[in-house]
Structure formats: C-alpha cells, structure tokens
Amino acid sequence: DAKTTQPPSMDCAEGRAANLPCNHSTISGNEYVYWYRQIHSQGPQYIIHGLKNNETNEMASLIITEDRKSSTLILPHATLRDTAVYYCIVSFRGETSGSRLTFGEGTQLTVNP
C-alpha cells in the first residue's frame, strides 16, 4: 500500500471550514484514499473514501487532485466535536485478502471556540 504524508497538527476556528491535506505521491491506479478520525480515547471512525472523483457525504467532502498524488478532506463547518486525529490511508478497496488499512500518525485537528 502507498505511503501517506500528513501535517502533524492543524488548528481551525469553530464554524469555519477545516481543510486537511494528505500527500500520497506513490498511489497506484487501483488504490483508494480513505479517511478516518479518532476522537481522544475512542475507536477510529470511518469518514469517507474515494478513488479519483470528488466525494461528499453528511460528514465531509473529499477532494482528490487530478494526478491523484494528493487529497484534501474538508469539514465544511467545524465544531468543537470535530477535534480529533484524522488519518489519511491509501489502500486497495479490499476485495483481495492482502488489502490492509495502515494507520500512520495522522493530523491532530484542534477546533478552537
């Protein structure tokens, strides 16, 4: 699976959009980009995933560059409850037994009042 690079920490004002970047320059054609978050002392929570098109759900939007070497997770109106570590993971979709989710260090997002 491709390796990802994320900033260790970011701050965001409550009510503003939080834009979390992720670099994955070695991503292969069949690998997806997954985003999870982990609120302190809880289990990780799946947020969104995508292959090459931009994706949106009730939690967030995922913007993937045309060359697929980087992506941005957007929380449109961050709240204090969005304070968490955000993990960007690149992996095959999972049909094969060799697929894995590899959690790195992630980005600690702190939403300030």
Partner 1 sequence: SQTIHQWPATLVQPVGSPLSLECTVEGTSNPNLYWYRQAAGRGLQLLFYSVGIGQISSEVPQNLSASRPQDRQFILSSKKLLLSDSGFYLCAWSGWIAKNIQYFGAGTRLSVL
State how far the Cα of 38 lies from the Cα of 89, in Å rounded to an integer: 13
Closest to partner 1 by CB, 13 or 103: 103
In the complex, the smallest distance separating the C-beta of residue 86 from partner 1, rounded to whole angstroms, is 12
Q: What is the token pair recorded at 24?
A: 């994955």
- Using CB under 8 A, list all residues that contact partner 1: 32, 34, 41-46, 49, 87, 89, 91-95, 97, 99-106
In the complex, the smallest distance separating the C-beta of residue 14 from partner 1, rounded to whole angstroms, is 25
3-state secondary structure of 106: coil
Closest to partner 1 by CB, 25 or 103: 103
Please state the φ and ψ torsions of residue 66, each to the nearest 5 degrees.
Answer: -60, -35
- Chain centre to alpha carbon of residue 111: 16
Closest to partner 1 by CB, 34 or 75: 34
In the complex, the smallest distance separating the C-beta of residue 24 from partner 1, rounded to whole angstroms, is 14
- Residue 103 DSSP one-character state: -
Q: What is the token pair recorded at 84?
A: 């968490």
